[in-house]
């Protein structure tokens, strides 16, 4: 299922969403310019779970990758998919939280997603990169704040796309179940390459979004709506 649009109007310009998309695109161009050095770059700035349990690694060398990994991607498809979901759902969450709280919330969910991945895969030496954990947190917040929003969705059936409007709680609930059961099945198999999906980063980020968003709303007034 591919989300195309939601029907929740907003009151503010999505400054942080656009900046995040720009930063991710620029960093991906940097990645593809590295050539043979890319593998070392990913090892230095991606999350490698086994490193978090190494006696030789200090707190800084373990911790900074939880943030740097959020801004790196493994392919154009990986980048586009994440940025598309960020654009569709992130604008309303930024509008509701405010710009500063939104970026803190985004990074916090990304870190939570990374920690969930580390917890489930403590022996993995494969670098994990991508904004999926942070964006999953945005989806979790959307699930709580706008459960009855209508999501215009493209559903592929055989060789055709069908366009239907789904309530957000159904779209995001189904999305989460796919991540959860895919993650559960992945425990039974050993990841062998960077191309493996970090399902538990998605699950952890989504859960973090649900848990954290009420705290980020403290003191925030619900804005009037004008943009769509």
Domain boundaries along the sequence of the chain:
11-144+198-216
Is pLDDT larger for residue 121 or for residue 26? 26
Mean pLDDT of the residues in the chain = 88
Dump pLDDT digits (tens) for 5-25.
998 888 899 999 999 999 999
pTM attached to this predicted model: 0.89
Dump pLDDT digits (tens) for 22-59.
999 999 999 999 988 999 999 999 998 988 887 665 55
Alpha-carbon gap, residue 11 to 16, rounded angstroms? 14
> Over pLDDT 90: what percentage of the chain?
61
State both tokens at 172.
Answer: 């995001």
Local confidence band at 125 (pLDDT 50, 70, 90 cut-offs): confident
- Burial tier of 191 (Cβ tally within 10 Å: 0-12, 13-18, 19+): middle
Determine the pLDDT at residue 191. Answer: 54
Answer whether 130's CB lies under 8 Å from 47's CB. Answer: no
Cα 22 → chain centroid: 15
State both tokens at 16.
Answer: 């942080």
Local confidence band at 180 (pLDDT 50, 70, 90 cut-offs): confident
Q: What is the CATH number of domain 11-144+198-216?
A: 1.20.1540.10
End-to-end CA distance of the chain: 22
């Amino acid at each position: 299922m591919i989300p195309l649009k939601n029907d929740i109007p907003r009151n503010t310009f999505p400054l942080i969403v656009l900046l995040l998309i720009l930063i991710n695109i620029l960093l991906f161009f940097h990645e593809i310019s590295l050539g043979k050095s890319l593998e070392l770059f990913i090892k230095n700035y991606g999350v490698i779970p086994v490193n978090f349990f190494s006696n030789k690694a200090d707190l800084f060398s373990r911790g900074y990758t939880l943030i740097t990994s959020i801004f790196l991607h493994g392919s154009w498809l990986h980048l586009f998919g994440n940025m598309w979901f960020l654009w569709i759902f992130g604008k309303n969450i930024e509008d509701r939280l405010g710009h500063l709280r939104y970026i803190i919330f985004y990074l916090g969910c990304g870190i939570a997603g990374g920690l969930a991945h580390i917890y489930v895969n403590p022996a993995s030496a494969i670098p994990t990169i991508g904004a999926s954990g942070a964006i999953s947190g945005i989806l979790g917040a959307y699930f709580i704040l706008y459960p009855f929003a209508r999501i215009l969705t493209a559903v592929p059936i055989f060789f055709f796309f069908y366009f239907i409007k789904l309530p957000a709680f159904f779209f995001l609930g189904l999305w989460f179940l796919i991540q959860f059961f895919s993650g559960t099945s992945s425990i039974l198999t050993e990841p062998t390459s960077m191309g493996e999906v970090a399902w538990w980063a998605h699950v952890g980020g989504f859960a973090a979004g649900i848990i954290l968003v009420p705290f980020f709303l403290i003191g925030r007034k619900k804005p009037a709506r004008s943009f769509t």
